[in-house]
Amino acid sequence: MERKTCIAMVPCPGLSHLIPIVEFSKRLILEHPNFQVTILIPTLGPPTPSTKEILDTLPPSIDSTILPQVNLQDLPPNIHLATQMKLTVKHSLPSLQQALTSLSSRTHLVALVCDLFSSDALPMAKKFNLLSYFFSTSGATSLAFCLSLPQLDQRTTSEFIVDTTKSVKFPGCGVPFHVEDLPDPVVLFGRSTETYKAFLRVCQRLSMADGVILNTFTDLEDDAIRAMEEHQRQLTNGTPCVYYYPVGPIIQTESRSQQNESKCISWLENQPKNSVLFISFGSGGTLSHDQLNEIAFGLELSGHKFLWVVRVPNKVSSSAYFVGQKDDPLDYLPRGFLERVKGQGLVVPSWAPQVEVLGHKSTGGFLTHCGWSSVLEGVVHGVPMIAWPLFAEQKMNATTICGVLKVAVRPRVDGESGLVKREEVARVIKVVMEGDESLHMRKRVESLSVKAARAMSEHGSSTKALSSLALKLQSCNGKC
């Protein structure tokens, strides 16, 4: 029997990177059953229960190997999340090489797929004579910025980093981006820091791969996709050496956990159509205690129904990204809040079945941290959004959905306290849930939902892009 064509995937640590790669792998083998995927997972600690749930339910054509755990003591203290993820992959390279050696000896291994922060693994593709690809867990617009950063870095002054009152334009951006809304490694650190330099090196590597797999679709980010393709043509005098494959929207079709599912869905069943605001900050986002209180009081002020996923507050916005939380999040809500909103809303601790909630007829709005997977889920289900970015490239995503796509509204931060005050929370809820602006946003996002379904249909643009990628991989006969 002929061996299946095998692809190795290397996500960086974190559920928000693992899940899109898993979902892409499922889509690939569904459309092209002659493929086999092995996911090689660098880790900074033992797998979380959520990670185990995902890996335990993989279909037979997708294997996974959790690489030996990197010792936290081997990493510098108090480093940024992006640096931590990148260094975890870097320290895992010896074990990754061993895994690839084993894999290539027993399979028809043709390609290595990394995401942006596992790019240190990319040179291994040459060692094993493989095709190399980036899988972008972010949108095409933020990736277009990454592709432009080396040029921006060369021709701009240090004001590009430190003056957050300025704006920057780059090919494919649609609207100017405020400097303060650029990815964390660019804004939070100066050019002389290792964090910024490491991010710049990651961006430079984008032009070194054979292709980039984009979790987006042409009708959503056509300008950004075309700008990246044009960038490659200019670099190579008209013959691109890096190909872009917009294969999305690739999202979960069902939630990975049943925690709070029956409670949430039963409650939604008793609410009017489009009446509920769903509030969730993703798999790792957290708020300060003061901000948690302001949201609670703002929800009360708005008078609108809501379903809120609450986490234990923390001043570090990404504090739940790697580490589980043991306290009861509901203990941190304002005194008497749960009693006062009994008829208005439902509050659940830590987790809700986001896919099912967004797809429910009663859900009429989505307050999101603007992680790209959550943005795509909001678009696919046709739900207008409140953009509340926390870290990473989420502010860029917020600018895209508010300023370019116009399917979201972003609250104003109080300059003195650094918080979104309760009155502002109530205001943006009303913008999304009632009135003419709400209707316009809903029509636009519902139109994008239709286009997303069309892209993923049998003859849709994303299905064709996936077929083009599959054809390229199948044509690799071991001499890539």
Closest by Cα among 395, 414, 418 to 181: 395
Cis peptide before 240 (omega within 30 of 0): no
What phi and psi, each to the nearest 5 degrees, are found at residue 397?
A: -60, -40
Check: CB of residue 88 under 8 Å from CB of residue 71.
Answer: no
Distance CA 138, CA 116 (A): 9
Question: 179 near 163, Cβ under 8 Å?
Answer: yes
Give the residue among 237, 28, 4, 218 at the shortest CA–CA distance from 113.
28
Q: What are phi and psi of 382, to 5 degrees?
A: 65, 40
- Pair 60, 286: CB distance under 8 Å: no
Cβ atoms 87, 199 nearer than 8 A:
no
DSSP 8-state secondary structure symbol assigned to residue 120 = G
CA distance 268 to 363: 8
> Is residue 449 within 8 Å of 381, Cβ to Cβ?
yes
Backbone phi and psi for residue 425, each to the nearest 5 degrees, phi listed first:
-60, -50
Residue matched to tokens 């092995």: 38
Alpha-carbon span 26 to 211, nearest angstrom: 19
Any idea which residues carry the catalytic annotation?
A: 17, 115
Residues 285 and 288: their CA atoms lie apart, in Å, by: 10
CB 311 within 8 A of CB 329: yes
DSSP state of 243: E
Cβ-based neighbours of 465, under 8 Å, separated by 6 or more = 245, 246, 247
